[in-house]
Amino acid sequence: MVDAYDIWFQLGPDVLIERYHRINREANARLKSRLGGAYDAENIRQKVIFGAGKRCAPNALWSLGCYPVPESPIPMDIYNADTDTVIGHNMYFSARQRFVNSGYIMGTVASMRAVFRRANHMAERNEEKPIYNGSDQAIFAIIFGHQEYMRETLRLKHTSRVQNLLHPERAAKPASNVIEGTYIDDILNPSITHEPFDQPLNLNYEFGIGLDYFSDLGHQTMNSDIGRDANWLNYTDPRTLKAQVKPNRKIFDCKLSLPEQLPSDITRSSIDTNSADQSATPFPNWEQLSLYTHLCLGTIPVMIHHNGGKNNREALWSRVWMQAEAKQLLENAREVTGDANDVGTLEEFRQRPGIKEAGGAWTDKGEWLNWEGLCDEGMRGMVFGQ
């Protein structure tokens, strides 16, 4: 699930799905190391991935949606000695990503249904006084905070006496950490004034939620300005990457961490440019395209989430590789699949396996809108830059 108005995709669904599984594998390895016996005893596995942000917003730092959040796996020196301090382009800029951002959520249907049921229950229970004015992100942050609080409780419960003797420092509590410049010395009972965990113990708090810490799925531009943490790079010659960004670096910027070459999940991915016109000009390959790259993490995100400067949606649209190719891509698809102006009802469409449609979409009411119905002339001018 993605925000409707401020997310762009620059890579395809094959890369998205492959990365989802890889992120979960890596996260589960970290969970096994962190949780010890609780990992298998409680069957704790990551299934749902939220975007990761630098700020716990809109929740208050002292609330259960913030202070129990675990340490970020991002290196502690990403912003040199300023990392996780309030020193930077703003007080959140030098923080590592570690908080829920609900701009995109990816998971299995069953696991996401469970998360949304709990979120809906919380929203309905607080209907008279909506949580943070009805913010979905605030509710998801609370669900994540509850989960992490209980994971730490279960970790301690399943820590054996032998483990206590071998690793007394780990058995007692995890290493202290700093959130938004505030010292958190114990995620179950920090010394700061905090909201206590007084939730019903008969509820399930494990939802398999984790975060896209390294921006493999998407990058949040909030407190992570384009040009500072990320920018568009061309990979025709990877040796030129530093030269493409070096002139713009500022005092508070991160250390550069650029890929030596395009990741294999991208180079294996195909750009669907099939055309009935065999004489059409060959389409550029990935190395010839300008790709949005996280300069600090060395990743090329599938999505760009413009939750920072909203004006960038218009100002930077021409930088995305498919913008210049969008009209040709649409025409190519229409040549192969047809306009699909008359696809019948949704049920009829589902009964015709293998049929494809291009340039349209199904509404939530099960009605088909073709391209002309979706985009008026003014909008088409914005999309195609004409």
pLDDT at 347: 78
pLDDT at 384: 87
Alpha carbons 48 and 326: distance in angstroms, whole number: 31
pLDDT at 353: 58
Q: Which of 385, 332, 308 is nearest to 55 (CA)?
A: 308
Q: What pTM was computed for the model?
A: 0.91
pLDDT at 351: 72
Residue 261: both structure tokens together: 């070459």
Residue 179 DSSP one-character state = E
Alpha carbons 315 and 195: distance in angstroms, whole number: 42
Peptide bond into 58 cis (omega under 30): yes
| Residue segments in the chain with a per-residue pLDDT below the cut of 70 | 160-176, 272-283, 336-343, 352-359, 386
pLDDT at 336: 63
Element (H, E) at 303: strand 303-305
Write out pLDDT tens, residues 313-351: 999 999 999 898 888 888 777 776 655 556 677 777 777
Residues 6+ apart with CB under 8 A from 87: 94, 252
pLDDT at 370: 78
Question: Counting every residue, how long is the chain?
Answer: 386
Beta strand 99-107 with 361-362 is unpaired
**CA dist list (Å): 327 to 212, 336, 342:** 32, 15, 21
* Residue 361: φ, ψ to 5°: -160, 155
Residue 223: both structure tokens together: 């407190």
Residues 6+ apart with CB under 8 A from 202: none
349: left (phi over 0), alpha (psi -120 to 50) or beta: alpha
